[in-house]
Amino acid sequence: MALKGVTGRWSSIRRYSSLPEIPGCNFTVSNYKGSHYDSVKSGRMNSVTPTTPPFYKKPLLIHEGHKQWLWDHTGRRYLDMFGGVVTVSVGHSHPKVTEAATSQLSKLNHTTSIYMHPKYQEYADKLIGKLPGNLKVLYMTNSGSESNELAFLMAKVYTGAQDIISLNNSYHGSTYMTNAATGMSTWRYPIASAPGHPQVTVPDVYRGSWGGSQCRDCPVSQRGQTCECIGDKCIAAEKYLKDLKDTIQFSLPNNGKFAAFIAESIQGIGGVVQFPRTYLRGAYDIIKSKNALYIADEVQVGFGRTGDHFWGFECDDIIPDIVTMAKGIGNGFPMGAVVTTPEIAASLSQALHFNTFGGNPLACAIGSAVLDVIEEEKLQENSKVVGTYLLHRLSTLLLEYPTMVGDVRGKGLMIGVELVSNPDKKTPLEDEYMASLFEDTKDMGLLIGRGGIHKNVLRIKPPMCVTKEDADFTVEVIKKALDNCRDRNLISRDNVYIGAL
């Protein structure tokens, strides 16, 4: 049933209204002197990882960055609310990080760990000092995928078991084993996966079979679902944990023996999925009862991003056996890390293990500067304050756009907004409308990400230096983009489903 014209009055009002005004910035950007846009675009599409096309119908050619801001080749400024896929933690080209990099680069940038150099030990002491319990041994890597691959190796060698349990809808990397642990078909090629990677039901409070309004550790309550929790006991968590127990009992060999369980505290690429607040603690207890290891994937949620704690797993009151990190660890510099206990680390002495670039002086100098900036500029606190403010502002979209905004969730500056075309059935907003909305936000000066198996979740994970003014601009741009989407006859203002819906 097509109802074209039903939004005419609103369309005419919006057509003549001004666009959201981007917050001010005192930085002077340099003139672009690189290759022609068309030449860069042609090369990017045909000869530079053509299987991973750039965002947007008209891709951006980014030229320069400063704090939360990016400039394209024409000098146009954008608010970066995606942080280079949750990687720019303290701000683009932060002066302290830049100074640490140039200073170290002018002296020594590479030796490999076959020699000692002071930066490695200085950084190790500083990073390990941020971790609880007996997490005292550091291995440096180059990426999150490599960190998780090493964690899997450690777990298998240490326990003597082979299976690594992960969650559906998870992403843990693109290497052979980490891809097998990734629970999203959109990231899996039609080839035989590494054996020994069973997956269990993701405890998704919004899309899953169980969950209610108060299950998540989120400033925004879930809309429309009654919570069955009794006091501190989360009924939804108990039901999802039964699925984990059943998988261990029925699907694993040797009386349910397995090497490890891996999880993000909040799923990132999966669409900022938050679990029932007691789920990961319950999973931890089950895993330890089977003498298996708990691997916390902190690649996206770590380094103060969730606000309340420096590490995501601390929100669940657990101490993992292995912690993997990357992305925000280097503010964009390619580096990663694995931290574990001395006992687990010792198991790798059964053979040689070596990483050519891991722990090089340049990476250690940059990583150390990042830790300093997070502390000195109180960016963890800023993540909590600005993130909570932004979540509350985004929650108003649930009321203003009830037929398009299905869920708002997250913690700190790890935020997701799930868009739907039918809120009752939770039908994901179709890709053609998501693409148009995505293009609109870019054209208005806002850069965000997309996630989830259906790519219908707006991912908001900016540099942790963003302000409340930036948050206001973000919400106003998303609102304007939703208005434009509605004007394209997707959904009427009167909540009438139209067209193919």
Q: What are phi and psi of 41, to 5 degrees?
A: -65, -45
Q: Among all chains, which residue has been given the structure tokens 């985004």?
A: 394
In the predicted structure, residue 7 carries a pLDDT above the cut 50? no
CA 200/CA 167 separation, integer angstroms: 5
- pLDDT at residue number 97: 98
Strand-strand pairing, 260-264 and 293-297: parallel
For residue 294, what are the β-bridge partners? 261
Higher pLDDT, 12 or 269: 269
How far apart CA 484 and CA 12 sit, in angstroms, is 11
Packing angle of the helix pair 431-443, 468-487 (nearest 10 deg):
130
Question: Which long-range contacts link 72-77 to residues 24+ away (Cβ below 8 Å)?
Answer: 73/32, 73/34, 73/37, 74/32, 75/29, 75/31, 75/32, 76/445, 77/22, 77/25, 77/29, 77/445
Q: Can you give the pTM of this predicted structure?
A: 0.92
Check if the beta carbon of residue 300 is closer than 8 Å to that of residue 264.
Answer: yes
**What CATH fold (topology level) applies to the domain 96-377?**
Aspartate Aminotransferase; domain 2 (3.40.640)
pLDDT at 339 over 60: yes
Q: Is the pLDDT of residue 487 over 90?
A: no
Spatial distance between the Cα atoms of 375 and 381, rounded to a whole number of angstroms: 9
Q: Is the pLDDT of residue 9 over 70?
A: no
Give the residue from 223, 224, 320, 208 showing the smallest Cα distance to 274.
Answer: 208
Q: Where are the domains of the chain?
A: 56-85+379-495, 96-377
pLDDT in tens, 110-166: 988 888 999 999 999 999 999 999 999 999 999 999 999 999 999 999 999 999 999
Confidence of residue 489 (pLDDT cuts 50, 70, 90): low
Report which residue type is found at 297: D
Locate all alpha helices (DSSP H) within 350-462, ordered by sequence.
Answer: 361-376, 379-395, 397-400, 431-443
pLDDT tens across 425-451, in order? Answer: 999 999 999 999 999 999 999 999 999
Summarised one tens digit per residue, pLDDT across range 24-44 is 999 999 999 999 999 999 988
- Give percent of the chain above pLDDT 70: 94
Beta-strand pair 322-325/293-297: parallel
Residue 496 pLDDT greater than 70, yes or no? no
Beta bridge mates, 230: 233
Tokens in use for 217?
């550790």
* pLDDT of amino acid 17: 54
- Measured CA to CA, the distance from residue 286 to residue 292 in angstroms comes to 9
Architecture category of domain 56-85+379-495 in CATH? Alpha-Beta Complex (3.90)
Lowest mean pLDDT among 46-60, 89-103, 255-269: 46-60
- Please state, in angstroms and rounded to a whole number, the distance separating the CA atoms of residues 470 and 225: 31
CA dist., res. 120 & res. 367, Å (int): 10
The rounded distance, in Å, linking the Cα atoms of 270 and 216 is 16
Half-sphere exposure of 117 (CA within 13 A, CB side): 21
Residue whose entry in the numeric block shows the structure tokens 């007691």:
278
Pairing of strands 77-80, 449-451: unpaired
The pLDDT of residue 4 is: 32
Residue 14: which H helix or E strand, with range?
Answer: helix 8-15
* DSSP structure string for 287-306: HHHTT-EEEEE-TTTTTTTT
Mean pLDDT for 356-376 is: 97
